[in-house]
Amino acid sequence: MFAAAFVVCLLALSPLAGFAGELRGVQYAPVAGGTRLTLNLSAPTAVRVFSLKAPERLVVDLPATTLRGALAAPPGGTLRAVRTGPQAGGGLRVVFDLATPVQWRHATLPAGGGQGPRVQIDVLGGKAALAPVVARAPAKAPRPASAPVVAKPANAVAIAKTAPQVTKQPATPVAPRPEPAVATAAAVPSAAAAPVLRAKSAGAVTVVIDAGHGGHDVGAVGPGRLYEKTVTLAIARELAAQINARPGMRAVLTRSDDRFLELRQRTAVAHKHKADLFVSIHADAVAKGTARGSSVYALSEHGATSEAARLLAARENAAGLAPGLADAGQDKVLRSVLLDLSQNATTESSLRLADRLLDRIADVNKLHRSDVQQAGFMVLKSPQVPSVLVETAFISSPDEARKLADPAFRRRMATALAAGIRDYLQTEPRLRQALADAETGRTPALRRADDGS
């Protein structure tokens, strides 16, 4: 009896007793070039992912976590088996046995959309390209260029030319990925000229690109009076050109010149054009300090993930109101941004899109936050459209302001965003099929006939 009581006392004194989270299961899903592992947790933890050789293994350490039940076996191929074992201090180690060396990337997703926190790991076999690989249709005669597709909001007034930029300096070269699957800057039409936008085709994936600020709302101001509205429009136009250069994809700009739009006008564009995605482009700023790097935000259902995110959202929301209404309506705006999204899938999709964008942006700029941030941005208030806000860099930083003023850097940023969007589309069956149909020229009716259905 004494021994049993002693054990009970030890468990009660343990700091992890009763507080450990659980690994509730693992799911496997195909992604471009490999397999996605999703580890479902009951509580967040400081996950550590690394690989080992001889034999090849992918290891996931989950501190303060225990296993509930058995894990599903991998589907085969590169992933041969999964094993688990306890670690000292109440941790859990999960080991995936591999057939070959792999590339991998991981992200932690917060609880939301009716699910608990998750760890997502993309296992990309061998030297598989990190960008989606889609079958190409036979070469066709080029289509004639059409005029840019730009939403025409009501009562929008064109304003004078944008302010001068800071002196341009060469951007720091960035090493490309080992197997780039996206078009290089030289191969993609530059937005310095009028972007070549394709007319909408049947089944096209529509991406609404929102250049933040505009008109009297200059946004943040960097050294040399570099205006945020100037930078965001340049990147948005370049991104539109790259998206529209791909079969099956169509970009719609909320604004193509220096004009002011209210936030609700921006989101209305997404609904009018039945957008599949909404990407709002901004350039961050701080009053003091030397903050640097890029961030990606999704809508928060329960407030911002950090105080900085909350303050940033409040600033952007107030800036998007009509002149004279910002102060009077600010409290109402801040209450309204905490939305109850009508579909849990939208929240999940927005987080996945943001994660893909972050992964690609890391190739061209330092990340200010390595994980997806969430805040109550009104411009992300589209319950049925996955929406994200990209803070491309800190315009308040002299070094990053020089980058933002450099057309070469803006092209690289746009290329990273386009690649992240394509990565995301490959994770969504309906959108992936729409792209494949556009590449091969097959209509849904022809596909059903080929499948015998």
Task: Report the pLDDT averaged over residues 249-268.
Answer: 92
- List pLDDT tens digits, range 32-47: 778 889 999 999 999 9
At 331 the pLDDT is: 44
Q: Per-residue pLDDT for 383 more than 60? A: yes
At 444 the pLDDT is: 58
Q: What are the percentages of helix, strand and coil residues in the chain, rounded to 5?
A: 30, 25, 45
Domain ranges of the chain: 20-125, 205-439
Task: Report the pLDDT averaged over residues 102-111.
Answer: 85
Highest mean pLDDT among 64-73, 194-203, 408-417: 408-417
At 336 the pLDDT is: 42
CATH 3.30.428.10 is the classification of domain 20-125? no
At 79 the pLDDT is: 92
Contact 425, 205 (CB under 8 A): yes
Contact 60, 49 (CB under 8 A): yes
- Confidence category of residue 446, pLDDT binned at 50, 70, 90: low
Per-residue burial over 389-404, b = 16 or more CB atoms within 10 Å of its CB, e = otherwise: bbbbbbbbbeebbbbb
At 308 the pLDDT is: 57
At 363 the pLDDT is: 94
- List pLDDT tens digits, range 185-244: 323 333 332 232 333 344 579 999 999 999 999 999 999 899 999 999 999 999 999 999
Contact 93, 87 (CB under 8 A): yes
The C-alpha atoms of residue 361 and residue 388 are separated, in whole angstroms, by: 14
At 15 the pLDDT is: 39
At 451 the pLDDT is: 53
Task: Report the pLDDT averaged over residues 425-449.
Answer: 73
**Residue 308 burial by CB count (10 A; 0-12/13-18/19+): exposed, middle or buried?**
middle
CATH superfamily of 205-439: Zn-dependent exopeptidases (3.40.630.40)
Task: Report the pLDDT averaged over residues 4-26.
Answer: 56
Q: Please tell me the pTM assigned to this model.
A: 0.53
- Confidence category of residue 89, pLDDT binned at 50, 70, 90: confident
At 379 the pLDDT is: 80
Q: Per-residue pLDDT for 5 more than 90? A: no
Task: Report the pLDDT averaged over residues 365-388.
Answer: 85
Residue 187 is encoded by which pair of tokens?
Answer: 């191969």
Residue type, 55: P
Q: Which residue has the higher pLDDT, 177 or 48?
A: 48
Task: Report the pLDDT averaged over residues 165-192.
Answer: 34
Average pLDDT across the chain, whole number: 74
Q: Per-residue pLDDT for 60 more than 50? A: yes
The C-alpha atoms of residue 359 and residue 365 are separated, in whole angstroms, by: 11
